[in-house]
Amino acid sequence: MLCADIPARSTFYDKEETTVRNKTFSGGVHPLSHIHHGKPLTEHKETKVLEPPKEVVIPMSRIIGKEAKCLVNKGDYVKKGQLIGEADGFISANVHSSVSGTVVKVENRPHPTGVKRLAVVIENDFKEEIADTVVPKDISKLTKKEFVQAVKDAGIVGMGGATFPSHVKFMPPEDAKIDYVIVNGAECEPYLTADHRLMLERPDDVIEGVKAIMKVFDIKQAKIGIESNKKDAIDLLCSKVSEGDGIEIVPLAPKYPQGAEKQLVYALTKRKVPAGGLPLEAGVIVLNVGTAAAIYSAIKTGMPLIERIVTVTGSCVKEPGNLLVRFGTSFEDCVNACGGLCDDTAKLISGGPMMGIAQSDTSAPVIAGTSGILALNEKEATKHEVSNCIRCARCVEACPMGLIPLQIAAAADAGRTAEAKKYNAMDCVECGSCSFICPSRRRLVQSIRLAKNAIRNTK
Amino acid sequence: MSTKFFVSSSPHAFARQNTQNIMLDVLIALLPACGVGIYFFGLRAAIILAVSTFSAVLVEWLIIKLFKRPGSVKDLSAAVTGLLLGMNLSAGVPWWIAMLGSVFAIAIVKHPFGGLGHNFVNPALAGRVFLVASWPVLMTTWVEPGAVDTISSATPMALIKAGQAVDSGMLWNWAIGNASGCIGEVSAIALLLGGIYLMIKKVIRWRIPVTYFLTVFAMSFLLGGMDMMTSYAHILGGGLMLGAIFMATDYTTSPVTPRGQIIMGIGAGLMTAIIRLYSNSAEGVSLSILLMNICVPIIDRLTRPKVFGEVKHNA
């Protein structure tokens, strides 16, 4: 069924006339709704290709997953698309060179996670010589095993931001019964428009990627969830699917964290992923629209994952926009391509304002999880003073996981790890809705993160 | 590359509502009721409200300074406590009663337990109960609205207790505030306006006030002689409006779980009806809320929401 929940397309978006409620979950917050979630800055800006820089710095690690084993040494010549880091262990992904040129250094370099990590520094010779391993494949002829291998070879990771190695998701246990592919086009994180632009500019890659997965794993139905504030993307994708595809485009309520895995699965299927469990246990495979497109284009062209769309935005970016960036390009180059940063930039974030990672400078390179680069001014980045918890219960209402953040945080702050565990700290998805909504500006999710670490360490 | 930016753990965005503007909203919501109180009880009502508010803020400021406590009077929580206490007094009490009540609320009920967010009972209500226990006669001498001198007169709840039949004219007077009673409790309409304002501003939720009203209405109807007029009187007269909208919803001393808030409203409603109908006292709102305050930790524990996707464990 196609767009099943929209009875009359023409009236759907007029709030007064619609009787259909967008699908969603309970809890959640509306960050920056007074400025339309910061999206207008870039949502209509077409993605520009950023020319690769003179030097790329490609880390052997992403966000989630074990560091890849480095295969090159100083002085080696590498080609575009050549494997330079091999997946090491189960949850780890391959890393490829994004340019052709000479390896000048293999050393620890700044990483978007805020620490220095092993990276290969390649001097670009601008010849764009392509590796021999880059061979196009016919996606419709792959077996399940070949498909998973192709995804693994191409170093595909979750493009939503957490960079979970994608091939792992495609290795369900033999007895698992999977009947839905759930595709995340929610992009609930404020300011970011990378997925939005991708859906508008490469809709076929998204749809074909989803179809390929459905075919390979013999899954009959797929649902692509998109927040209703991306009307153009919903319309476009709707026009790209036909009745027999089994792909449904579902408008979602614009609410954070709509794109969180469990909340998305619930909004689209009313199934609850068991606490502490994987989406597989609810019979679904979940992936981002960016990941679906990346899988499709990597298999079709043979070129592994070496670039992505990055939204460079915020009040302190002079000309905000969306860029197609080769991995290893520094944040510095990205912001310069967007007119540079204003002098009053106080905070630079890799990702969005809700789950992004603050950067101390612009030296980190773009990696697979870099969905955006956000520059905020002094006022927006205010260091709020923390005051006493007034027990207003806003965090309880906001928590999409049904937790009581104030109790977990209080236990965590007092070092009572067992108590934090009893209050289900481990079910926290760290979306940050509690810290966002807290009128006393208490660092709730931050305390809960510490509690989770402490619980893991006491195991 | 040398620029160093401010680094902190996510999230990097914050809601605009903070403790100070929440408290400011509560003060704004209380203004109509205060206005009506001053209109009917005159200048002395204004003086009582000013003294109670000012003393609460002053004591809070002194405690924070002297004992180097965290916090600030700028969060306006002491002003809310002081104003609520003043609104819970008869216009006929001497000014020092208002001052003592505020001092007790802030210095005894609020700060020894850790200040803002840590008191286990509502400070304004505890202050009022302290005053009633210490100066019972002064605290129950009510002023006729519009009177120049202190003329002792009966409150709506006392009239009902005495078996007075309620007619629609009386109800109307009680709704607008032309009744004897505490300065801030007399006008049901003004209080309701404030409550609606707080709900629109998302400062309070419907759960506690609505369940409180419904329970009192149902109980007074069922146990109070099946008379609709009497049930309306229980809602409009007395301290229920002020208590249900502004005191029972106090964040610190009410449950944080949605189900807990409903239990709070029902529990307070049951107790209020029982006290009003079966005890020697005509009024029971303060005591009911205080008793429910004490139950809050256990209510929170018993009503913890289900974790999303929680699997039943056979423990």
Residue to test with chain B: of A26, A113, A315, A387, most B Cβ within 10 A: A387
Give A-chain residues touching B3 at CB under 8 angstroms.
Answer: 341, 345, 361-362
For residue B9, list chain A residues with Cβ-Cβ distance below 8 A.
358, 443, 445-446, 449
What are the residues whose beta carbons fall under 8 Å from the beta carbon of B213, sequence distance 6 or more? B235, B240, B244, B269
Q: Let me know: does A295 contact A165? Beta carbons within 8 Å.
A: no
Q: Is the pLDDT of residue A88 over 70?
A: yes
CA distance A237 to chain B (A): 30
Alpha carbon distance B292, B299 (integer Å) = 9
User: Identity (one letter) of the amino acid at A433?
Assistant: S
What's the full length of chain A, in residues? 459
Answer yes or no: do A381 and B17 touch at CB < 8 A: no
Tens of pLDDT along B252-274? 999 999 999 999 999 999 999 99
Contacts of A298 (CB under 8 A, 6+ apart): A150, A151, A154, A156, A304, A305
Q: Which residues of B touch A386 (CB under 8 A)?
A: none
3-state secondary structure chain B: CCCCCCCCCCCCCCCCCCHHHHHHHHHHHHHHHHHHHHHHHCHHHHHHHHHHHHHHHHHHHHHHHHCCCCCCHHHCHHHHHHHHHHHCCECCCCHHHHHHHHHHHHHHHHHHHCCCCCCCCCHHHHHHHHHHHHCHHHHCCCECCCCCCCCECCCHHHHHHCCCCCCHHHHHHHHHCCCCCECCCCCHHHHHHHHHHHHHCCCCCCHHHHHHHHHHHHHHHHHCCCCHHHHHHHHHCCCHHHHHHHHCCCCCCCCCCHHHHHHHHHHHHHHHHHHHHHCCCCCCHHHHHHHHHHHHHHHHHHCCCCCCCCCCCCC
| Sheet hosting strand A372-377, strand order edge to edge | A48-49, A321-326, A307-313, A372-377, A345-350, A357-359
Interface A-B, measured as beta-carbon pairs within 8 A, has a size of: 171
Residue B181 half-sphere exposure, CB side, CA atoms within 13 Å? 32
Of the candidates A131, A183, A153, A163, which has an alpha carbon nearest to the alpha carbon of residue A85? Answer: A153
Residue A34 Cα, gap to closest chain B Cα (Å): 10
Are A393 and B251 an interchain contact pair (Cβ–Cβ within 8 Å)? yes
Residue B150 has pLDDT above 70, yes or no: no
In the chain, the amino acid numbered B138 is L
Mean pLDDT of A322-334: 97
- How many CB atoms within 10 Å of residue A50? 21
Query: What pLDDT digit, counting tens, does each position of A178-196 carry?
Result: 999 999 999 999 999 999 9
Share of chain A above pLDDT 70, in %: 95
Nearest by CB to B309, from A273, A389, A392: name it. Answer: A273
The answer to whether the CB of A50 falls within 8 A of the CB of A337 is yes
**Is A392 close to B311, i.e. CB distance below 8 A?**
no
As a whole number, mean pLDDT of residues A70-80 equals 96
Report chain A's C-alpha Rg in angstroms.
22
The position carrying tokens 């612009």 is: A362
CA A136 to chain centroid, in Å, comes to 26
- Per DSSP, A275 falls in state T
Structural domains in chain A, CATH included, are 55-124 (2.40.50), 145-301 (3.40.50.11540), 305-377 (3.10.20.600), 394-458 (no CATH)
Residues of chain B contacting residue A345, judged by C-beta atoms under 8 Å apart: 3, 5
Closest CB to A390 among B2, B252, B308: B252
Per-residue pLDDT, B141: 86
For residue B84, CA distances in Å to B52, B78, B79 come to: 9, 10, 8
Interatomic CA distance for residues B307 and A81, integer angstroms: 44
Tell me the per-residue pLDDT of B183-204, one tens digit each, with 9 for 90 and over. Answer: 999 999 999 999 999 999 999 9
Determine whether domain B20-302 maps to CATH 2.60.40.
no
Give me the pLDDT at residue A14, please.
Answer: 37
- Partners of residue A423 in chain B, C-beta under 8 Å: 304
Q: Where are the alpha helices (DSSP H) in A278-431?
A: 289-301, 331-337, 394-398, 405-413, 417-422
pLDDT at position A116 is 93
- Choose between A286 and B312: higher pLDDT: A286
Q: Which residue of B has its CA nearest to A281?
A: B309
The pLDDT score that the predictor gives to residue A7 is 38
| Helix, strand or coil, per DSSP, at residue A362 | coil
What is the per-residue pLDDT across A205-252, written as a single tens digit (0 to 9) for each?
A: 999 999 999 999 999 999 999 999 999 999 999 999 988 889 999 999
Band of residue A4 on the pLDDT scale cut at 50, 70, 90: very low
Contact criterion met (CB below 8 Å) for A265 and A286: yes
Q: What stretch of H or E contains A35?
A: none
Alpha-carbon gap, residue A405 to A172, rounded angstroms: 33
Indicate the pairing of strand A95-96 with strand A83-86.
Answer: antiparallel
Tell me the average pLDDT across A286-312: 96
Helices A231-240 and A194-201, axial angle in degrees (round to 10) = 30
Q: Closest chain A residue to B296 measured between Cα atoms?
A: A391
At residue A5, the pLDDT reads 45
Give chain B's length: 315
Using the predicted structure, report yes or no on whether residue B297 has a pLDDT greater than 70.
yes
Q: Please say if the pLDDT value at position A92 is more than 70.
A: yes
Give the mean pLDDT of A320-348.
Answer: 96
3 state DSSP class of A284: strand
d(CA A85, CA B177) in angstroms, rounded, equals 78
**What is the percentage of chain A residues whose pLDDT exceeds 90?**
83
Mean pLDDT on A98-112? 96
CB contact under 8 A, B13 and A446: no
CB contact under 8 A, A391 and B308: no
Average pLDDT across chain A, whole number? 91
What is the C-alpha to C-alpha distance for residues A187 and A17, in angstroms, rounded to an integer? 26
- Phi, psi for B123 (deg, rounded to 5): -60, -40
Nearest C-alpha in A relative to B10: A355
Burial of B315 (0-12, 13-18, 19+ CB in 10 A): exposed
pLDDT digits (tens, 9 = 90+) for B166-179: 888 989 999 999 99
Over range A11-19, report the average pLDDT.
37
Q: B13–A32: do the CB atoms touch at under 8 Å?
A: yes
Nearest C-alpha neighbor of A456 from the set A421, A429, A422: A421
Residue A6: is its pLDDT beyond 60?
A: no
Tens-place pLDDT, residues B125-140: 999 999 999 999 999 8
Segment A397-414, tens digit of pLDDT? 999 999 999 999 999 999
- Owner of token pair 């205080």: B290
> What does the alpha-carbon distance between residue A144 and residue A9 come to, in Å, rounded to a whole number?
37
pLDDT number for residue A284: 94
Distances from the Cα of B120 to the Cα of A241, A390, A457, B45, B112, angstroms:
59, 12, 35, 29, 11
Question: What residues in B contact A434, CB-CB < 8 Å?
Answer: none
**What gap in Å lies between CA B156 and CA B145, rounded to an integer?**
12
> How far apart are the C-alpha atoms of B82 and B86, rounded to whole Å?
6
Which of B12, B71, B300 lies at the smallest CB-CB distance from A347?
Answer: B12
Q: How confident is the model at residue B148 (pLDDT cuts 50, 70, 90)?
A: low
8 Å CB contact between B238 and B155: yes
* Per-residue pLDDT at B35 exceeds 80: yes
First to last CA, chain B: 56
Closest-CA residue to A57 (of A103, A1, A126, A5): A103
| pTM metric for this prediction | 0.91
Per-residue confidence (pLDDT) for residue A294, from 0 to 100: 96
Q: What is the ipTM of this complex?
A: 0.92
Residue B2 has pLDDT above 70, yes or no: no
Q: Where are the domains of chain B?
A: 20-302
- Closest-approach residue (CA) in chain A for B310: A275
- Closest residue by Cα to residue A100 from A125, A71, A65: A125
Mean per-residue pLDDT for A378-395? 91
Digit-coded pLDDT (tens) for B3-27:
689 999 999 999 999 999 999 999 9
DSSP assignments along A302-326, one per residue: ---S-EEEEEEESTTBSS-EEEEEE
- Model pLDDT for residues A151-180, shown as the tens digit of each residue: 999 999 999 878 999 998 888 887 888 999
Residue the block writes with tokens 């504030």:
A229
